[in-house]
Structure 1
Amino acid sequence: MKIGIRAHDIHIFDDPEGLAQALKKHGFNFVQFAPRVSLAGLTHQGAKLNFGLANQVKQAFDRNGVTIAVLGCYCNIIDPDLAKRQQVLNQFKKYLTVAHSFGANLVATETGSVDPTFHKTVNNFTPIKIEETIAVIKELVQIAEKVGCLVGIEPGVNHPIYSLVVTQQLLAAIPSPNLQIVLDPGSLVMHAEDDPVALLKQGIELFGDRIYAYHLKDFFYHDNHIEITPIGEGVADIEAMLRVINEQQPGAYAIADELSARDIEQSLTRLQAMAQRIN
């Protein structure tokens, strides 16, 4: 089994060749790539992409056997400031247009918040806000259909698309194959008793044919929210989740998420050991 990583968890920036070589050295052959971070200086924090730079990244990654599985454009697509919302939606549409020059098939985001500071609020969960979010995603999917790309939505507990049930609602409202899901069971944990392995299994059962990639992170639950830990030090059974993915969708993109720079080598060693036991 192969496991990917967010490219910016390897702290090499504005240097596609150096980053690609480092990813190859660590044994990765696919990544999630966020220009906002990995190319911060060259793209004005991801706001300005061009086809030539995207192709330079693709060529560097190709030389080192690395594929961009997910192009990240995580932004607040339901920002209450409509001018800011339109700005990020235009940016996301640009990412959809340029994705193939990066060698990517999908551009991913979470669904944002009615609170631009992202403090927890139940106002994200109202039927009106969910419908508004679905309408915004439908607009993005229509662009994706025109340019031959995929929109990836990652559900999360502090967003309007916040649960497996609401994700089903989204997929039913937009049956287009150009809409796919990036499923992170840890991001759907709302209560201490929630089991990310069970959430993963349920997600695959409900809409497995619309899951493009998986995010995996370890954590413990504290003060009504999760706190990320190095792999193997939290309550999430990462190996069990990897086994479920491998059994249900062998070869699927499984991407380690939110690895801290301080503990990354330890986390990667543990992840690679898990993958070897599964193989």
Structure 2
Amino acid sequence: MQIGIRAHDIHIFDNPEKLAISLKEHDFHYVQFAPRVSLSELTHGGTKINFGLGNRVKQAFDKQGIKIAVLGCYINIIDPDLTKREQVLTQFKKYLSLAHSFGTELVATETGSVDPTFRKTPNNFTPIKISETINVIHDLVTTAEKTGTLIGIEPGVNHPIYSLEVTKELLQAIPSPNLQIILDPGSLIMNPDDDPVQILKRGIHDFGERIYAYHIKDYIYHDNHIEITPIGAGQANIESMLQTINAEQPNAYVIADELSANKIEVSLTRLQTMAQRI
């Protein structure tokens, strides 16, 4: 079993050639790539990308045998400031048009918040806000259908698409195969008794055919939220999650998410050991 990583968890920036070499040295075969972070200066924080830059990244990664599985363009698609919202939605559509130049099919985002500071608020979960979010996603899917690309929506507890049930509602409302899900069970933990393995299993059961990739992270639940830990240092049964994915969808994209910067090598070693056992 192979595990991917967010490319920016390897701290080499604005140099795709050196980054690709380092990813190869760490034995990665695919990544999630966010120009906003990995190419911060070259792209003005991810806001300016072009076909030539995409091709440069693709060539560098191809040379090292690395696939960009997910192109990250994480934006606030329901920003209450409609001018800002329109700007970031236009940016996302630009990423869709450029995805193939980066060598990928899918551009991913979460669904944002009515609070631009992303403080927890129940206002994200109202039926009106969920419906509005679905309508915004539908517009993005129309662009994806025209460009021959895919949209990956990542549900999360502080977003309008905040649970497995609402994710099912989204997928039923937009049956297009151009809409896919990035499933991170850790991002759907609402209380200390929630089991990410069971969340994973239910997600696969309910809409597994629409899951494009999985995010995996370890955590402890503290003060009504999760705190990320190095892999193996938290309460998530990471190996059971990997076994579940491998049994249900062999060779699926599995991307280690939010790896602790000061313990990244420890996390990677533990992940790779688990993957080898599977």
Distance in 2 (alpha carbons) for counterparts of 1:225 and 1:122: 15
Which position in structure 2 is the counterpart of 1:29? 29
Q: Deviations over 1:125-165 (max 9, x none)?
A: 00000000000000000000000000000000000000000
Opposite residue 151 of structure 1, the aligned amino acid is: I
Give the structure 2 partner of residue 216 of structure 1: 216
Q: State the percentage of identical aligned residues.
A: 74
Would you say 1:108 and 2:115 are equivalent positions?
no
1:56 is displaced (CA, Å) by: 0.3
> Aligned to 1:52, what secondary structure does the other structure show?
helix
Q: How does 1:24-103 map to 2 (within 5 A)?
A: 24-103=24-103
Could you tell me how far 1:260 is from its partner in structure 2?
Answer: 1.9
Secondary structure of the structure 1 residue equivalent to 2:85: helix
Match in the other structure for 2:247? 247
Q: Does 1:7 align with 2:7?
A: yes
CA distance in 2, matches of 1:77, 1:27: 34
Paired residue for 1:136? Answer: 136
- Give structure 2 stretches of 5+ with no counterpart: none
**Structure 1 partner of 2:19:** 19
**Paired residue secondary structure (2:200):** helix
Aligned length: 278
Taking the aligned partners of 2:236 and 2:88, their CA distance within structure 1 comes to: 33
Give the TM-score of the pair, scaled to structure 2.
Answer: 1.00
Distance 1:260 1:147 in 2: 36
Q: Distance in 1 between matches of 2:76 and 2:85?
A: 7
**How far apart, in 2, do the equivalents of 1:232 and 1:77 lie?**
33
Superposed counterparts of 1:224-239, under 5 Å: 224-239=224-239
Please list the CA deviations of residues 180-199 of structure 1 after superposition, one character each: whole Å capped at 9, or x if unmatched.
00000000000000000000
1:146 corresponds in structure 2 to: 146
Cα distance in 2, alignment partners of residues 250 and 50 from structure 1: 34
Task: Please give the secondary structure, in 2, of the residue aligned with 1:272.
Answer: helix
Matching residue's letter, 2:127:
P
CA distance in structure 2 between the aligned counterparts of 1:205 and 1:141, rounded to whole angstroms: 24
> Match for 1:40: what amino acid?
S
5+ residue gaps, structure 1, are none
Q: TM-score, normalised by structure 1?
A: 0.99
State the Cα RMSD in Å.
0.3
Match of 1:190 in 2: 190
User: Any idea what SS the aligned residue of 1:32 has?
Assistant: strand
CA distance in 2, matches of 1:151, 1:95: 10
| 2:259 paired residue number | 259
Structure 1 residue matching 2:201: 3-state secondary structure: helix
What letter matches 1:117 in structure 2? T
Q: Secondary structure at the match of 2:43?
A: coil
2:179 equivalent to 1:179: yes
Measured after TM superposition, the shift of residue 221 of structure 1 is 0.3
What amino acid maps onto 1:65 in structure 2?
G
Q: CA deviation at 1:256?
A: 0.1
How far apart are 1:32 and its partner, in Å?
A: 0.1
Task: Give the match's secondary structure for 2:65.
Answer: coil
CA shift digits 1:203-231 (9 cap, x unpaired): 00000000000000000000000000000
